[in-house]
Amino acid sequence: MRNVKSAVTESPIFRKGESVNRDEAKKICDKVLSYSSAQETEVIMQSGSSALTRFANNQIEQNVNETGVSLSVRTVFGKKVGRASTNMLDEKSLRKMVEAAQILARVQPDDEELLPMPEAQRYTELKNYVEATAEFGPKERAEALKNIISRCRKEKTLTASGIFSNEDRLLALANSKGLFACDRMTEAVFSATVMTDDSAGWAEETNKDVREIDIEKVGRVAIEKAVSSKKPAAIKPGEYTVILEPSAAGDLLIFLGWLAFGALAYQEGRSFISGKLGQKVFGENITIEDNVYHDMASGLPFDFEGMPRQRVALIEKGVAKNVVHSRRTAKKAKTETTGHGLPEPNTSGPIPLNLALAPGNSTLEEMIKSTERGILVTQFHYTNTVNPMKLILTGMTRNGTFLIENGKVNGAVKNLRFTESLGKILSNVEMLGKELVKTRGFFGGGLVTPAMKAKNFTFSSTTEF
């Protein structure tokens, strides 16, 4: 993404070194629309300022800060569509982008399913922007890292690494029918990994308000996990009761958005719940919604067609209730869009970006105490799909995997690879945590989930570390 500073001299709208605000985005979008002679035109504008402090080997290694902007225009002639993009804001570049989109549109085959662009919409205002996060600087990030770095230096056997990042980003969408949608949001992430010679511990928090991140807690948990997971023992693969901390649970659940709840996948018969709406697919204690208006969520109040996002009940007490729609899939289903479309054209269809799993009434300590023999998982990584239709996933434990015996944590175990059906996991959940945690997602979205305890979770192989 090209730095906005290099375009400042050619575009007086921008203030040097700052990201774009709503009024500036509206002016740019209107200018692009005025250049188009197409029957319909759409502009998507993304602007952002992101900063990151990276630490490793018990010291700060890197500070980066980037401010940039990108635009994409879609033009329509009849049923022919063309798209072009640029990250340059001078008039010549904007006109060239529009001209390229128009040239491309005229040589494309007709899109017989193309819908007219929507007119102006109304949106629920979300308070996604926090000035304190946008203005959080390298000095503040360095000060925040002081505690974990000094503690690890003092212990000598501990090595800390990770990131502290904060960003301020804007997305605006406008079309030639008078629609204009804009949202500005902030996000801060503090992620810490602490290592010894034979173990590792990890913790992370993310929040739109950097002041809400418990910096001391993140560092303390990462250190405690690293220390308590020293000398991990080998354990045989097989089926175990597992207790998944929120990050591990979220790493699995996020696949539901891609593999199960999108209307295009459902209509094409390649979704896990294709043909199963109204049927019980998970345990009765599983209720999942897509809800950008959740107290802990942070996402766009509109989709990439400019339609307002709706709260959608996806699973209620284990029963599949709904999928999310774009305008195109909604027309096929003879229903209304739920505001989950991605930029057109695309082959993915609508996708839920703000999944939330309803909590239970248990604490992590109660889950452990109730377990005769099982495995406590801090985090998964390299998680991927084996069989989309059956929701079979594979991945590995990471940064703190522990054996539970007789209701107590009884030392660390070496990391394990799992191969398991998410449908089976969510049918075998015995307990859910009462505390919800937000994990990072795509396009400003994320997932809100508690910890969970599930029986008969399959670990398919072991590792040497």
In sequence order, the 6+-apart residues with CB closer than 8 A to the CB of 191 are 162, 163, 164, 202, 203, 204, 218
The 8 Å CB, 24+ separation contacts for 120-123 are: 120/177, 120/178, 120/179, 120/180, 121/179, 121/181, 121/302, 121/306, 121/307, 121/308, 122/308, 123/181, 123/301, 123/302, 123/308
Whether the pLDDT of residue 237 is over 70: the answer is yes
Question: What is the pLDDT confidence band of residue 2, given thresholds at 50, 70 and 90?
Answer: very low
Residue 4 has pLDDT above 50, yes or no: no
Write down the pLDDT at residue 445: 65
Q: Beta partners for 72?
A: 44, 85
Q: Are strands 373-387 and 392-405 parallel, antiparallel or unpaired?
A: antiparallel
Element (H, E) at 182: strand 180-195
Average pLDDT over residues 386-401: 96
Using DSSP, state whether 271 is helix, strand or coil: coil
Q: How far apart are CA 173 and CA 184, in angstroms?
A: 12
**Banded pLDDT at 12 (limits 50, 70, 90):** very low
Using the predicted structure, report yes or no on whether residue 10 has a pLDDT greater than 70.
no
**How many percent of the chain have pLDDT more than 90?**
91
- ∠ CA 125-131-137 to the nearest 5 degrees? 145
Q: pLDDT confidence of 18, banded at 50, 70, 90?
A: low
The two tokens of residue 307 are: 């339609």
> How much is the pLDDT for 20?
83
Average pLDDT over all residues of the chain: 94
- The yes-or-no verdict on residue 16 having pLDDT over 50 is no
pLDDT at 444: 56
* Mean pLDDT in residue range 110-137: 96
Rounded Cα–Cα distance for residues 444 and 185 (Å): 8
Among 419, 410, 314, which residue's Cα sits nearest to residue 368? 410
pLDDT for 71: 97
Report how far residue 121's alpha carbon sits from residue 336's, in angstroms, rounded to the nearest whole number: 14
Q: What is the pLDDT of residue 440?
A: 77
pLDDT score of 200 more than 50 = yes
Range from 26-30, 264-268, 461-465 carrying the lowest mean pLDDT: 461-465
Give the type of residue at 17.
G
Instruction: Burial-class residue 245 by CB neighbours within 10 Å (0-12, 13-18, 19+).
Output: buried
**pTM of this prediction?**
0.92
Task: Tell me the pLDDT band of 5, cut-offs 50, 70 and 90.
Answer: very low
Q: Are 310 and 299 in contact (CB under 8 A)?
A: no
Residue 17 confidence (pLDDT) above 50: no
Percent of the residues in the chain that have a pLDDT greater than 70, as a whole number:
95
The confidence score (pLDDT) of residue 7 equals 36
Placement of tokens 């990462």 in the chain: 222
| Confidence (pLDDT) at 6 | 35
List of domains in the chain: 5-222 (3.30.2290.10), 232-462 (no CATH)
Residues in contact with 177: Cβ distance below 8 Å, sequence separation at least 6, in sequence order: 40, 116, 117, 118, 119, 120
CA distance 380 to 416: 10
Residue pair 27/114 in contact (Cβ under 8 Å)? The answer is no
Is the confidence at residue 330, as pLDDT, over 70?
Answer: yes
